[in-house]
Amino acid sequence: MSKILKGTLIGVVAVALVAAGVGYYAIGPCLTNEQEEFVYVDADDNLDSVMNKVDEVAHPKTMMGFKALASHGKYGDRIRTGRYTIDPDMTMLQLFRNLRNHQQDPIKLVVPTTRTLADMAGRVTEKLMIDSLSLVQSISDSAVCAKFGLNHQTMPSLFIPNTYQVFWDMSVDDFLERMKKEHDNFWNADRLAKAKAHGLDPQQVATLASIVDSESAYDPEKPRIAGLYLNRLKMGMPLQSDPTVIFAVGDFTIRRVLNVHLNTNSPYNTYKNIGLPPGPIRIPSIAGLEAVLNAEKHGYLYMCAKEDFSGSHNFATTFAQHAANARRYTQALNQRGIMK
């Protein structure tokens, strides 16, 4: 046998042995335990950083297979962002293929009802690749708001608090487009008809719902509160909602609204302005939105928090009844030493 042929055979055998070794390690289990793990690949990652992230959770032996696959499988040119699940029974070859082919699993994202858009942005971006500042800047941009037919004051009405399945690496634009889609799905023909029957559009429903939510966390009472405010709107009475004053002042630590607060000059102060404020004072809940759309019909015009601090309210049809309720609540505040 010639030296050339012999060398060639040795080379082929060597390559085959290496391939066999890589294959052996690649088809082995990824993990050393039975607990599900995740690899997060962001926009700043490169081949080395991805391998380091995999190495943090991978079995040492099968990690050799991943490194070989990544180095020779041209993965460095195909790195895709995402949150990739590693199941206990997954092989390293399967993980490699998922990373290379962008086969990620969706996450459950909770869009909460929060006091401000900045609060919402902070909460949702804890679960996403995007950062809160980028989202805040986008939803504060007048051009972005206008794209959805809104302005900065009505922008909170775009968001329907719920749990959604999304991909971790979605962009700010993707997130807002998804919220627009969910908003449009929520505002179906039936809900639009109910809003119109009250003389409201979806943004106005969201604004009133935000007030209802701020007045009570007790969902069964919300349709009654909504009915009270609708009565006031129809009669041209000021809403006189304390939460709108707190929003106008900008101090959410206020527990007792005083005359100094009531004198605040702001379009959100419903003691000084008749009608709805220019936009929601928080991102309203679905319960709040439904409460307005399905408001209870009654003759109540006044309400006051119950003196037992249960979170529910005493309702009244006359100011005299309301004054008596308010005195009891004021006495309870004084007894507890709540001055502001």
Given phi > 0 = left and psi -120 to 50 = alpha, else beta, which region is 200? beta
Q: Which CATH number, 2.40.40, 3.30.1490, 3.40.50, 1.20.120, labels domain 15-101? A: 3.30.1490
Question: What 3-state class would DSSP assign to 303?
Answer: strand
pLDDT tens-digit profile, the chain (340 residues): 454 443 433 333 333 334 444 444 556 677 777 788 899 999 999 888 988 988 888 777 777 877 887 777 667 678 899 999 988 888 888 888 898 899 999 999 999 999 999 999 999 999 999 999 999 999 999 999 999 999 999 999 999 999 999 999 999 999 999 999 999 999 999 999 999 999 999 999 999 999 999 999 899 999 999 999 999 999 999 999 999 999 999 888 888 788 899 899 999 999 999 999 999 999 999 999 999 999 999 999 998 888 777 778 888 899 888 888 888 888 877 877 775 5
CB 41 within 8 A of CB 79: yes
Q: What does the alpha-carbon distance between residue 290 and residue 337 come to, in Å, rounded to a whole number?
A: 36
Q: What is the pLDDT of residue 21?
A: 44
Q: Which residue has the tokens 């004054």?
A: 323
Alpha-carbon separation of residue 35 from 25, 43, 64, 240 (angstroms) = 20, 27, 21, 54
Longest dimension (CA), the chain: 114
Residues of the chain with CATH 3.30.1490: 15-101
